[in-house]
Structure 1
Amino acid sequence: MTLFSLARKNIARNFSQYFLYIASMVFSIVIYFTFVTLKYSDIVSEMTKSSQKMGSLMSGAAVVLIFFVAIFIAYSNSFFMKKRKKEVALYALLGVRKRQIGFMLFFENLLLGVFSLVIGVFLGFLSSKLFVTVLIRLMGYDVVAPFTFSTEAVINTASVFLIIFFITSFQGYRLIYQFKLIDLFHASKKGEVAPKPSWVIAILGVISIGTGYWLALQNLLTSEAWRILGMFTPLIILATVIIGTFLLFHSVTGFVLTLFKRREKWLWKGLHLMTISQLLYRVRGNARTLTVIAILSATTVTAGGAVYSLYYNINDNVKLTDPNTFMYEQTANVDNDKVTSLLPTTKYDENISALFVTFEAKQLESAMSIDEDKRIYTVINETTYNKLARLQQKEELNLKGNKATIIDVQYHESLSPKYAGKTITSKKGTAITLEGYHEVPVLNLMAGMTLVVTDAQYKELEKQGESVQFRAIGVDNATTDLSKKIASALPEKAQFSSAPEDYQSGIEGMGSLLFIGSFLGLVFLAATGSIIYFKVLTEAEEDKSQYNMLYKMGVGAREMRKTVASQVFVIFAVPLVIGLAHSAVALTAFSKLFSMDFTKPVIIWMLAYTAIYGIYYVLTVYSYNRIITQNNKREG
C-alpha cells in the first residue's frame, strides 16, 4: 500500500470529521472564484460605468480573502494535526519512518485541498449566474445574467489555493519532526493552561474596553482626547478593545462563573456542577480563541452593518438632496421646448426665479472653515419656497421678525456654523439676520446653499445679485433613460440635476460594496463558526471518558444532551454577545459621524448574522452529542 493510497483511505474513514473543514474551504473558494469571475465579467463591465472601479474592488476583496483564508486554513489544520498526534505516534511505534509519516500527512492534507478546490470551482461556476445576477440587482439593474466561465478565473483560483494548500500540507509534514514520541501520545490531553482569575486583570479588562468605547463615542472634531491623540486614536481604540476583550475572557468571565458556583442549591441540581467546572476551564483556558471569535464577529457585523445602512438609506438621501425629479438652470442656449417634448405627464413643472448673492459672512464660523469671509448663496423668497413646498408635500416656512433662514441639507452639529442670531451682509450693505437653519430643501443640491428671505428682503436684494432662472420638474416613476435623453438635450452649463441618475449612481456604488461586504462577511462567519466547531469537538474527544463514567453511573442521555447544549451555548454566545456589543458601539459612532439613523438596517444585519451563527451552534451540539453517544455505546 502506497503512502498516497493510505492518505486517501484515512480521508475516507474520517470524512465526517473533516466535513465542516472541507465545507468552509469550499465556500471560501466559491467566493474567491466568484470575485475573480466578476472581475473578468463582460456583462458587469457593460452594465456599469464604473467597471474599472468594480474590478479594483473585486481585486482588493480577493486579496483580503486570500489573507484571511490562508490564516483560517492554517489555524484549522493545526486542530486536526493535534487530533491526529496519537495516530501519528502509533505509526512511529510500529516502525514507520518519520519521512514516510510526514509524506502521508502531506498527501492527506493536499488531497483535502485539491478535493475542496475542484468542488469549489465547480460550484462557483454553477452559482456564477446567481452571484452575478445578485450583484446586478443590488446595483439597480433588472437583468438576469447568463452562465459565465472564465479560464483566467480558474487559473487564478487554482494557483492561489494550491500554494496555500502546499504550505499547510508542509506544516503537516513538519509535525512528526517537532515532537518526541511520548509528547505525541499525550498531545490530546494537553490543553491550554487555565489561568487563575485576578481582580486586577478583571478590572483592567473592563477599564480597557470602557476606554475604547468612550473614545469611539467621542465627537472626533470637538473631543479634546481626539485632538491630543490625533491620527493614532483609531489604533488606540482597536488596541484597547482587543486587549480588554482578552482580559475579559481571561478573568472577568471566571469571576462570573465562580459566582454561579457559589449558588449551592442550584449547583447540585442535575449536572450543573460539571457544566460550571468545565466552563471555568474552557472559557478562561481558551481566552485567545474566544477573543479572536469576538473580534471577528465585531469586524464582520460592523463592516456589513455600516455598508448595508448606507445602502438602505440611499433612497432617503436622494429625496433629500434632489427633491425635484429634474432641475436645471435656464441658460441662454437651453431649448425648453425640446425638453418639454421629452417629458411624460408631470406632477409639476415650475420656473423658479432666484438670485446669486455674495455675502460677507464672518460670523458664520465652523469647524471646517477655510476662508469664510465671503459666501455665495442662492436666494429665493418665502413665497417661492412655500409654493414648491406645497407641490412637494412638505411643511411651509413662516419667517418671523423679518428674518431669513438657511437651507442646510448637510447640516452637522459639529461641522456646520451656528446660524441662529447671526448676521450676513451683502456687498451693498443689506444686513440679513438668520433665525436659524432648515434641513428640508425645495431646490436640488446643484443650486448650492439656499437662503430663504422674506418677499420684501428679496426685492431689496434683486439689484445686488445675479438673477438666475431654474426649471424644477416633478415626474412619477422617472427612469434613467428619460434622464439621459433630457441631459443630451441640454448644454453642460445648465448643470442638469437628475434624481433617477443620482439614485442609480448611489445604488450602483453601494450595491457593489454591499455585495463584496456581504460575501466577505459570510466567509468570515463560516470561518468563525468553524473555528469554534473544531475547538469544541477537540474538547469533546477529551471529555468522552467523563461522559462515559456518567453513563455508567446511570445519568440519562437527555440530561447529558442538556448539559452539552448549555455548555456549548456559553462558548458560542459569550463571544457573539461581546462582538455585537463592540459593533453596536462602532456603528453608533458611524451613525453620528454620518448624521444618519442606522438603527433598523443594523438590527436586520445583526439578526441575520446571529441566525447563521446559530446554525453552527446547532451543528456543533449535534456533533458533540454524537461523539459521546457513540463512545458510550462502545464502552457499554
Structure 2
Amino acid sequence: MKLTKRLALDGIRKNKEVYLPYILIYAFMVFSLTSILLLMNADTLKDFYAMSSIYYILKIAIYVMGIFSLIFLYYSDGFLLNKRLKEISLYAILGLDKKYLSKILALESLIISALGYLIGIISATVIYKLLETIFLKLMLMEGNFYLSFAREAYIISFLLFAGISLLILLTRIIKIKRKSILDLFKEEKTFKRPRGMVLSAIVAIVLLGYGYYLAQTINNPSKAISYFFLAVLLVMIGTFFLFSSLSIVILKLMKTSKSYYKTERFISVSSLIFRLRSNAKGLASITIMSTAAIILLSSALALYRSVEDVGSRQYPRAVGIASSDEYSIDQVKKIIKDNNLDAKNIQDYKNMPLTFEKDGDTFKAMRERYAFENPNAMDDKAMGILVEVNDGSIAEASALKDGEFLLYKDPKLADISELDINGKKLRKKENIKDYPYKNSGNTSIVFYMFDFYYLVVRNLDENLSIDENKIVHVYNFDLSDEDMAIFKEKTKDVQNEYGIGFHDDFILEAYKLYGAIFFVGIFLGLIFMVATGLIIYYKQIQEGFADKNKYKSLRKLGIGEGKIKKTINKQVLVFFFLPLIVAGIHVAFAFKMISKMFVMLGSVNDSIKITSFIIGFVIFALLYLIYYKLSSRAYYKII
C-alpha cells in the first residue's frame, strides 16, 4: 500500500502542471453548483417575492452545470490518463501487474477528486453568505438574517460529484484492463480519425438552421418561451456537429489553393485541421459556455436597466388608478378636492380591450378575455383598445360623431376601416399620429405581448360592451411630496378597493423581481465566464504538451524559428477566436427570441435590450482576450 500511495503521489507531483488546473476546474464546478443549491434551499430566501420564478431559473442552471461538469471533467480526465499511459506502461514493463496499476490510477483519481471537492465545497460555504447578502441588496431588501446552510444542498452536490468521480474511476480501470502493454505505450500518440464527416456537416447545418429558424420566426412571446429550450437544444447539438465536421470543410477549401503547399501555410493548415478534429468537443463546449455567459450577462443587464422604463410605462404619473367602478374614481376625485390637493398632469380616459378577427373587410370583435386565456392562439387575431378621452389630450376626438373612431397603430399593422362590435358598426374617420396613453394603466402582461390597435371613440358606453368586456376608467396624476403624504394617509384603507397604485411602490416591487433576476443572471454569467476561462487555459496546456514534440521535429528538419512562431500565432488565433465568433453568431440569432421573452416581464424597450447585449458581448470579448493572452503565454512556454 505504501508503494501504491508513493507512486500515485509521485504521478500527481510530476504532472502538477496539468493536474493543478484540473483540480481548480473541479473545485470551481463544485463551488458553482453548491452555491446555486445553497441559494435554492436557503430558509431566509424561500418566502421572498418572485422566489418561485428565481427557483425555476436556478433549477435550469443546476441541470446545465451538472451536464457540463460531467462532460468536461470526464473529457479532461481522458487527457490526464493519456498523458500518464506511457509512464504506466513502463511500470508494467518493470513487473507491476494491471491490478496494481489500476490501484495506482484509482488512488490518483481519488486524491485529485477529493482535493477538488474539498476546495470547492469550502469555497461555496465561505462565500455563500456574501452571495445571499448581495442577492438581498439587489432586491432592495434589508433585514437580520441568520446563517443557515441547507443540508440538502451538500447531499445533492456530494452525490453528483461522487457519481462523476466514480464514472471517471471506472473508465480508468476499464481502459487499463482492456489495453495491452504495447497499446498503452502507443496510446498517447494515437489519433482516431473521425468517421462520417460529410454526414456530420449535413446534420450540423440542419440542426443549426432549424434552431436559427425557430429563433427568427416565433413572434408570440408565450410561444417564444415554449420553443426557446427546443431551439437551445438544437443549437447546442448542432454546435458539436459543427466543430466535428468543420475541419473537413476547411481542408477542402485550403487544398484548392496553390498556396496550401507552401511550407509555412502547409504546416499551419495541417496543424489546425488536426487540432480541430481532435478537439471538436472542447471547442464546442467553449462555444456553448461562451454563448451562455454572453446571454446571461446581457439579459441580466437588460432587465435591470429596464426597471425605470417599465415603471414609467405602467405608471406614467406618480399616482395611477384603473377601475371598472366609476364610484372609485369619483371618490378619489372627492378626496383630492376635499383636501385641497393640487393634482397635476392629469390623464383621464376610459378604455375597453377587445380581441378582433377579420371578417372580409370588417374587423369583428370577439370576447375580450380570449387573448388573456389563449395567448398562444392569437397568431390570426388582433388586439385593440377602445378609448374615450376625457382630458382633451387628443384634439381630434372632440369632433368625433357617434359611430366614428380615430385610429392609432403601428405602421406594420393592417389598416382598419370598419369595426363590428356587438352588431354595432363603427367607421374610421382618420388615422392619428400620436397616442398619449400607450400602455398607460395596463398592468396585464398580455398588453405587452401583442401590437395593439388604439381606437378613439366619442362615447364608450355599455352599448359597446360584449360578453365579459368591462370598461376601465383610468385616472393618473402627479402630486407634490407634501400632497402625496396626505393622499396616501387618506386612502390607506381603500387603495386596493379603489385600484390605486403608486409609481414609487411599483418601482420598489420591480427592483425586487428584476434585482433577483439580475443577481441570478450575473452570478450564472460569471460562473460560465470563469468556467470558460479555466477550460480555455486547460485546453491550451493540453495542446502545448500535444504539440511540443511536433515542433521539436520541425526544428530538426531545419524550419526556422521565425516561421514556426508565425505558424503557431496563426493557428492559435484561429483556434482561440473561432468559438467566440460562433458564440457571437448564436447570440445574434437568439436575440429576437430572447427579446420576445422579455416582453413577458414587461420589458419592451428594444434600445435598452440591444445596447445591453452589445455591452455584454464587448465585456465578454475583452475578458476572452485576457484569457487568450494568459493561456497562449502558457502554451508558448511549454512548446
Same fold (TM over 0.5): yes
Tell me the equivalent position of 2:217. Answer: 218
Tell me the equivalent position of 1:611. Answer: 622
**From 592, 612, 621, the counterpart of 1:588:** 592
**From 350, 354, 359, the counterpart of 2:346:** 350
CA contact (8 A) 1:446 1:497 kept: no
Determine the C-alpha separation between the residues in 2 that align with 1:566 and 1:477.
Answer: 64
SS in 1 for 2:363: coil
Residues 173-572 of structure 1 mapped to structure 2, 5 A cutoff: 173-193=173-193, 209=208, 212-214=211-213, 216-218=215-217, 234=231, 238=235, 241-242=238-239, 245-246=242-243, 249-258=246-255, 262=259, 267=262, 271-302=264-295, 304-306=297-299, 308-328=301-321, 329=323, 332=327, 336=332, 348=344, 350=346, 352=348, 354=350, 363-364=362-363, 368=377, 377-381=386-390, 383-385=391-393, 404-405=405-406, 418-424=414-420, 433=429, 435=431, 440-441=436-437, 443-446=440-443, 453=456, 457-458=458-459, 470-474=474-478, 488-551=492-555, 560-572=564-576
Range 596-605 or range 157-166, more displaced: 157-166
Determine the C-alpha separation between the residues in 2 that align with 1:9 and 1:531.
Answer: 25
Residues 118-133 of structure 1 mapped to structure 2, 5 A cutoff: 118-133=118-133
Q: CA deviation at 1:249?
A: 0.8
1:364 aligned partner, one-letter code: F
Range 167-176 or range 362-371, more displaced: 362-371
CA contact (8 A) 2:215 2:228 kept: no
CA contact (8 A) 1:385 1:452 kept: no
Tell me the equivalent position of 1:391. Answer: none
1:301 aligned partner, one-letter code: I
Determine the C-alpha separation between the residues in 1 that align with 2:417 and 2:108.
Answer: 77
Tell me the equivalent position of 1:392. Answer: none
Determine the C-alpha separation between the residues in 2 that align with 1:374 and 1:282.
Answer: 55
Determine the C-alpha separation between the residues in 2 that align with 1:344 and 1:183.
Answer: 94
1:625 aligns with 2:624: no
CA contact (8 A) 1:216 1:586 kept: yes
Determine the C-alpha separation between the residues in 1 that align with 2:355 and 2:218.
Answer: 30
2:389 aligned partner, one-letter code: I
Q: CA deviation at 1:3?
A: 2.1
Query: CA separation of 1:132/1:289 partners in 2, compared to 1, >3 Å: closer, same or farther?
Result: same
Residues 35-74 of structure 1 mapped to structure 2, 5 A cutoff: 35-45=36-46, 48-74=48-74
Q: CA deviation at 1:355?
A: 6.7
CA contact (8 A) 1:420 1:435 kept: no
Determine the C-alpha separation between the residues in 2 that align with 1:468 and 1:373.
Answer: 20
Q: CA deviation at 1:99?
A: 1.8
Determine the C-alpha separation between the residues in 2 that align with 1:258 and 1:373.
Answer: 55
Q: CA deviation at 1:127?
A: 2.2
Residues 93-112 of structure 1 mapped to structure 2, 5 A cutoff: 93-112=93-112
Query: CA separation of 1:285/1:356 partners in 2, compared to 1, >3 Å: closer, same or farther?
Result: closer
CA contact (8 A) 1:422 1:434 kept: no
Aligned-residue identity in percent:
22
Tell me the equivalent position of 1:11. Answer: 12
Determine the C-alpha separation between the residues in 1 that align with 2:50 and 2:259.
Answer: 62
Determine the C-alpha separation between the residues in 1 that align with 2:259 and 2:61.
Answer: 49
SS in 1 for 2:477: strand
CA contact (8 A) 1:35 1:62 kept: yes
SS in 2 for 1:423: strand
Determine the C-alpha separation between the residues in 2 that align with 1:482 and 1:621.
Answer: 66
SS in 2 for 1:384: coil
Tell me the equivalent position of 1:393. Answer: none
Determine the C-alpha separation between the residues in 2 that align with 1:123 and 1:288.
Answer: 29
Q: Which runs of 5+ in 1 are unaligned?
A: 387-395, 629-636
CA contact (8 A) 2:197 2:245 kept: no
Q: CA deviation at 1:34?
A: 1.6
Determine the C-alpha separation between the residues in 2 that align with 1:615 and 1:241.
Answer: 28
Determine the C-alpha separation between the residues in 2 that align with 1:111 and 1:487.
Answer: 67
CA contact (8 A) 2:336 2:487 kept: no
CA contact (8 A) 1:380 1:452 kept: no
Range 143-152 or range 52-61, more displaced: 143-152
Determine the C-alpha separation between the residues in 2 that align with 1:336 and 1:471.
Answer: 9
Cα deviations by residue, 1:364-407 (Å, 9 ceiling, x for unpaired): 369955998998844225x5335xxxxxxxxx878998764456
Q: How many residues align?
A: 594
Query: CA separation of 1:262/1:440 partners in 2, compared to 1, >3 Å: closer, same or farther?
Result: farther
Range 603-612 or range 79-88, more displaced: 603-612
CA contact (8 A) 1:359 1:375 kept: yes
Q: CA deviation at 1:145?
A: 8.4
Determine the C-alpha separation between the residues in 1 that align with 2:425 and 2:268.
Answer: 81
Q: CA deviation at 1:577?
A: 0.9
SS in 1 for 2:11: helix
2:259 aligned partner, one-letter code: R
Q: Which runs of 5+ in 2 are unaligned?
A: 365-370
CA contact (8 A) 1:350 1:473 kept: yes
Determine the C-alpha separation between the residues in 2 that align with 1:476 and 1:39.
Answer: 42
Determine the C-alpha separation between the residues in 1 that align with 2:398 and 2:336.
Answer: 34
2:160 aligned partner, one-letter code: V
Q: CA deviation at 1:252?
A: 2.2
SS in 1 for 2:217: coil
Q: CA deviation at 1:419?
A: 4.6
Cα deviations by residue, 1:281-315 (Å, 9 ceiling, x for unpaired): 22245445434443443454345544543443343
Q: CA deviation at 1:185?
A: 0.5
